[in-house]
Amino acid sequence: MYGVAKTIAPALHVADLTHEITPYNIWEASYRLYQTLSYWPVGTVFVFVVDPGVGSDRKSVCALTKTGHYVYYTDNGTLTHIAKFFGLKAVRKINEIEPLAHSDESHTFHGHDVYAYNGARLASGQLDFSDIGPKINPATIVKLPPVVTADSITGMVDILDVRFGSKKKRTWYTQQPFKASDWFVVILAIALFGITLYLFKLNHGRFYDPFN
């Protein structure tokens, strides 16, 4: 992908967001993109490829967010968080009539054959957003919903940044109900503290002194 981008525009600055998305985990990809997008300058072009359906008839698209960023991605739910929290101004289906040379020889490398190729052209000014391809109604893009049944709604924790100690994400510490053993430990700790205060008062401000 670097090679394709540099071939299209040698002076183009290319940076990595991450290569640590769990394979095929679209939800994680969606959250990581939402987590980082606003830290980049307006007009930045993102090429975000987590594409379990590569080679199928899923759509390749480019979205312009309401924050002014462009995202080349597979319409498989990758923009779930971006659409909800930032909003989408416009979406276009990528026109693959003029693809990267020799890309017809491969059906599994759309990351560089289609996304990096077109992303580099857009970022370098060789391609205008309006020329990427036909418009798509932003409301119709694929989003990953919670699982809804007749008597329940099943959601998911967005992400667990346990490597960095993300306090607000570690909900399991506070959500589990107290067990009998938990109450025993709490009561014992209170009792020991009370005994300590009593002995402190009994010895006139001194703790136990074996030499006096």
pLDDT tens digits, 10-24: 999 999 998 888 888
Report residue 50: phi and psi, to 5°: -125, 100
Residues of the chain short of pLDDT 50, as ranges, are: 108, 169-173
Q: So what's the pLDDT on residue 165?
A: 56
What pLDDT, on a 0 to 100 scale, did the predictor assign at position 203?
A: 74
Please give the pLDDT value at position 108: 46
The pLDDT value recorded for residue 16 is 92
Which residues, at least 6 apart from 25, have a Cβ–Cβ distance to it below 8 Å? 50
Q: Which of helix, strand or coil describes residue 146? A: coil
pLDDT given for residue 211 in this prediction: 61
Q: Which of 103, 126, 116 is nearest to 5 (CA)?
A: 116
The pLDDT value given to residue 172 = 47
Predicted local distance difference test score (pLDDT) of residue 105: 54
pLDDT at 92: 96
Amino acid code (one letter) for 2: Y
